[in-house]
Structure 1
Amino acid sequence: MLKLHIYTLSFLLFAFAINTTAQDIEQVLKAAPLTTSGGLSFSQIGNFSPDTNQTLEPYSYYLSGNINANLFGVINLPFSFAYTNNQISSNTPQPFNRLSLSPSYKWVTAYIGYASMSFSPYTLAGHEFFGGGLELTPGKSFKISAMYGRLKKRVGPDTLGTEPSFQRMGGGLKLDYMNKKIDASVNVFKAKDDINSITYNPTDSTIVKPQDNITAGAMVKLKMIDNFVLTAEYAFSIMNNDISNNDSINNSSDLLIDKQGDLAYYYAFKSNASYTTKIGAIGASYERVSPNYKTLGAYYFNNDFENITANISTSIKQWFNIAMDVGYQRDNLNGQKTNESSRLIYSANANTKLSDRLNLGVSFSNLETYVNIRDVYNQITQTNEFQNLDTLSFTQLNLTVSSNLNYIIQATKQKRQNVNIGFAYQEASQVQADDQSYSGNKIYNSTISYLFSLIPQRLNISTTVNYNRNELPEMTMSITSFNLSIQKAFFEQLKLSLNGSYSSSSNQSETIANIVNIRLTGGYTLQKKHSFNLSLAMVNSNGVQGNKTQYSANLTYNFMFNHEFKRRKEKLEI
């Protein structure tokens, strides 16, 4: 890792040396040697419960920050970090504690530490890594991107409650060409698990097998005719799903991928055409992804499908906006499944301004998508923003329907009142790629909220009623919540807020818990750079598991800065 840092720094210095013109030198001599901006945040959280089985850490702290340093007006050095003593993620493949630096000079940008890059939806698609990356844009027509680093850290099989994980290293390269008539790119990505990173028994079926993968793709976008765009992309992935029996001597010549083991080949293709006019746009697309398609450069993939769709969007005098996709989808492309399915696929988003006070939005889709779902029970029992950071469920949805209605009752310089009504329905797939928590679930969520504001007095009062219903294959759970929030600002520096909620959760046969959550928060700002926030919270849960009470105090300090280190003299005398 140290060598990577040295090579990156040397490259930046070399780029600076060969690209500095006489005009650049004059600009450098006049500019401030160093300009810094950014912010730091430090939170301390104390938890106490009179119950004997306290589940939260008695004391934890969270330190985070983002800093950007500019040298002589030409070199940017953005830097960010996050650290906590809380063990929420210490034994998971992607830790919470992280450090990243992204220096840039002219057309050179480097990524050092924790970063993410995207080459293609089918190769490297935003997967986080710890290592180094480069983006070079020497002109308007060319771009070179490269990365290498650790995609997963090792997690030993003896770690309690955590799935073992091999250390996974990966690297990739992407070349882009862009002009007015054509855009084109090619990319390649390689990742492999280190079979020696953990001690394991290759015959143990409970341990995920080490994998090896190489994938590549190409994309072209044609803009030969005004307002008409044609795009095509192709990618393939070669995956070895089990290299546990790898013989390093016999496979020394396999530079691209280990050929011993469970080897599989996948491919993906997508094309679309679109034509834009003054009143909207119309287009069509075709996508085909082979069964079991996956790469180690992305977290999740939809595969084994063929889509043919048409789309249209239009706007009528900013009064009505609509975008629609409709098409045909089928699976079982290789004929290996017992049951083959085909269906009509569609999605639509519509927004309309019915009057100056009334707005309505509706959307629906049966396209398969992945979303993060946070458990409602965790939300209503949460005492601070850092709680439950690692409880997201990455869920595949088959159907999503939502609507939102907003009505402004009053809008003057003195008062403002409005009502918002929202509804959402989500249907999860029966088969999930990873987390099975929401497999086959049907989730309903309805919300009614009212906001009242006295603008001169800086007083905001809001109330919300929320109903959430989760229909699982084996049972049904529902939560009804009533919330009240009062916020008041005193002068420019002091703000106080009081938030309270009462929630009742139940299933078909009984009430599971009645929950009261009360939070008092005060914030003070000093000289626009320093802010202090103190939050006191109490959560009481009375249900089938007994009566539990949790108290929490959260003290947070934020510091914002923007400083320029000026020269003592305007000219540098030689």
Structure 2
Amino acid sequence: MYKTKPFVWLGLLCFSLTTTAVGESPPLVNFSGQVGLFYDGYNYAEENYDSFRPRYPDHLLRFSAHATFSAGKYFSMPFGIDITNQKTNYRLPNLPEERFIDYIQNPRNNVSVNPTYKWAQAFLGTQTPAYSPLTTGDIPIFGLGLELTPGNFLFSLNYGKSQIGINPSPFEDIAGAYEQWMLASRIGIGQAAGTKFILQMVKLSDDQQSIDSKPNHTQPSEGITIAPLLQIKLAEQWRFSTELATSVYTDDLLGPDVTPDNELTSLAESFITVNASTNADLSNITSLEWRTDAASIGGEVRYIGPGFQPVGYRTMERDVIDYNLKTNFRLFNSKVLLSGSTGIRTNNLENTTMESTNRFIANVNLFTQLSRVVSVNTSYSNFGFRNNVAFDTLKVEMIQNLFSVSPAFQFDRTNASHIINTGASFQFFDEYNMHDGQTVSTASQTFNLGYNVALKSTPLSMGVMGLLLDNETPQSQLNLYNIGLNARYRLLDKKLTPSLLFSFSGIKRNEETPDKRKRLNLKTDYKLTPKLNFRLAYTWSNYQYGTTRPDAVTNEHRVQFSVAQRF
């Protein structure tokens, strides 16, 4: 029963709060945001394509509410709710008996309430603690959090589940995973954009009792990272920052009970389980930046130790040192914007493997507003990778260059406004082939053109677009073209807005006959009130395959409906 009730009760709650806020106490109580109900329906038909996999679920219902409730001068409560009737976002042999709390905590949903009073804020439900590059920043958790910022003081505490437990099932090709919990905290003093010192700690722990059987290729793990961060405002435009992180990580909690002879692991024994699989290391990021309203130049040195395990990040390349230079300029009243960065990365600093690698990375982006009508955006990037091995069979060397230019034209006339977008990009990729000792070159070219016109005498806008792509290697060739038409019209005093988009594509691989795809999208928006909007859309996709899959045809139909209320 609870799987349907949240949609009803949450909707009633939001609308009742709105009525109270607007009707009774407008000066003291306010409710702003958006509440919406969304439905997607999908089906398909295929001919001579038995292995075709549908791209969407048959029926998907979603409820979404993102709003802020405020009362008085100091209290506000932002909250977000995204729930769905989708059964699961992970594969299981059987759907488990799901309690209400399990339903709310499941990653397919997102429920968060973050009340704030003056300098105190609480985090309830889904949240993603983002402290620093060496501690945590991309792992969402479901739990509790608190942040206090009175004056120049800072204190944060976050605790919650970062991964659900999944029982392994080799017959269903399910690897399994342990339930995982995260604890993160920081305390410091100073100003966010000025001088400050912050001590940070993140701990990640797998629950060994969360699943019934042990996965074959996954061990329960536990780790902790402690990282002091110091930032000094040397002058009005100069800022120095350094972060030193210590990580102690146990890869297998079930490993041999032998304590490594390491001072860092000895200190961590009071916080995590330490055994023969425990490793520890240091990392550091130090930067110096000069910044004004019109320009900034900064240098950064980044060292990631070979044994450093990012507790609060899913992945991080280790055993590397980076030297980076970043620039940003705003010139001639922001008519010229130039940004760029360049750097060198070297790995295998500890000689733990046979080869070392060096990479050169650079990118530059230039935007120029030549006149009220003409603007040009240009970019260039270079990526290089090579190792220092003399043996041809182990040698790795590759270089990529990408250049693009995108002129745009926008001008008004008496009867209409016109926008023309053009673009061209060229990519060259050379890679050393260790099998035959030859360098393999890949060249890719892309050209696009778009034109849109909005009539002033009638609420009609139309447009056409085209794209051409050519990708060629010594072994294969891919050619793709796409043309499209779009139109939009406003009726009933601009309350009803029907629109359509039709596109036709051709995809040719090597000497095969091309695949052809047609897509039609019909959509209409209706504003019942200035803040209440209904949307209905239908998409049809037809794919006729060439000799890559003889006589195969697929037809897909998708219907989408939504109602959204802004406050």
Q: TM-score normalised by the shorter chain: which range applies?
A: 0.7 to 0.9
1:74 matched residue in structure 2? 74
Letter in 1 for 2:352: Q
1:112 and 1:133 in contact (8 A); partners too: yes
Alpha-carbon distance, 1:177 to partner: 1.7
Q: How does 1:271-350 map to 2 (within 5 A)?
A: 271-276=286-291, 280-291=295-306, 293-318=308-333, 319-350=335-366
In structure 2, the CA distance between the partners of 1:162 and 1:476, relative to structure 1 (3 Å rule), is farther
Structure 2 CA distance for aligned equivalents of residues 121 and 458 of structure 1: 49
**Secondary structure of the corresponding residue to residue 86 of structure 1:** coil
Alpha-carbon distance, 1:474 to partner: 7.9
Letter in 2 for 1:231: S
Letter in 1 for 2:156: S
Structure 1 CA distance for aligned equivalents of residues 429 and 71 of structure 2: 50
TM score, norm. by length of structure 2? 0.77
Q: How does 1:131-530 map to 2 (within 5 A)?
A: 131-139=143-151, 141-158=152-169, 160=172, 162-179=174-191, 182-201=195-214, 204=216, 207-245=217-255, 254-276=269-291, 280-291=295-306, 293-318=308-333, 319-366=335-382, 401=402, 403-408=404-409, 410-412=411-413, 414-423=415-424, 446-468=447-469, 477-490=478-491, 491-511=493-513, 513-530=515-532
Letter in 1 for 2:371: S
2:381 and 2:403 in contact (8 A); partners too: no
Structure 2 CA distance for aligned equivalents of residues 444 and 90 of structure 1: 38
Letter in 1 for 2:525: G
Alpha-carbon distance, 1:146 to partner: 0.9
1:22 matched residue in structure 2? none
1:86 matched residue in structure 2? 86
For the aligned residue pairs, the C-alpha RMSD in angstroms reads 3.4
Structure 2 unmatched ranges of 5 or more: 1-23, 93-104, 258-264, 385-397, 432-440
In structure 2, the CA distance between the partners of 1:400 and 1:272, relative to structure 1 (3 Å rule), is farther
**Secondary structure of the corresponding residue to residue 226 of structure 1:** coil
Structure 2 CA distance for aligned equivalents of residues 62 and 44 of structure 1: 6
Deviations 1:477-526 (A, max 9, x none): 55432221111112221101001111223322424632111011111101
2:30 matched residue in structure 1? 35
Deviations 1:327-385 (A, max 9, x none): 433211111222222244323222222333221222334479xxxxxxxxxxxxxxxxx
Deviations 1:236-270 (A, max 9, x none): 211212223487xxx9x944222124222232211
1:125 matched residue in structure 2? 137
Structure 2 CA distance for aligned equivalents of residues 44 and 62 of structure 1: 6
1:195 and 1:244 in contact (8 A); partners too: no
2:505 and 2:517 in contact (8 A); partners too: yes
1:90 and 1:96 in contact (8 A); partners too: no
In structure 2, the CA distance between the partners of 1:182 and 1:161, relative to structure 1 (3 Å rule), is same
Letter in 1 for 2:253: I
In structure 2, the CA distance between the partners of 1:183 and 1:511, relative to structure 1 (3 Å rule), is farther
1:494 and 1:522 in contact (8 A); partners too: yes
Structure 2 CA distance for aligned equivalents of residues 411 and 558 of structure 1: 34
Letter in 1 for 2:320: F
Structure 1 CA distance for aligned equivalents of residues 276 and 210 of structure 2: 19
Number of positions where the alignment pairs a residue of Structure 1 with one of Structure 2: 489
2:436 matched residue in structure 1? none
2:404 and 2:426 in contact (8 A); partners too: no
TM score, norm. by length of structure 1? 0.76
Identity %: 19
Structure 1 CA distance for aligned equivalents of residues 204 and 235 of structure 2: 40
Letter in 2 for 1:166: Y
Structure 2 CA distance for aligned equivalents of residues 238 and 46 of structure 1: 48
Structure 2 CA distance for aligned equivalents of residues 183 and 474 of structure 1: 56
Letter in 2 for 1:553: V
Structure 2 CA distance for aligned equivalents of residues 50 and 31 of structure 1: 54
In structure 2, the CA distance between the partners of 1:467 and 1:303, relative to structure 1 (3 Å rule), is farther
Structure 1 unmatched ranges of 5 or more: 1-28, 369-396, 431-439, 562-574
2:374 and 2:410 in contact (8 A); partners too: no
Point out the more displaced range, 127-136 or 46-55: 46-55
1:533 pairs with 532, 535, 559, which one?
A: 535
2:328 and 2:339 in contact (8 A); partners too: yes
In structure 2, the CA distance between the partners of 1:309 and 1:37, relative to structure 1 (3 Å rule), is closer
Structure 2 CA distance for aligned equivalents of residues 328 and 245 of structure 1: 38
Structure 2 CA distance for aligned equivalents of residues 39 and 83 of structure 1: 15
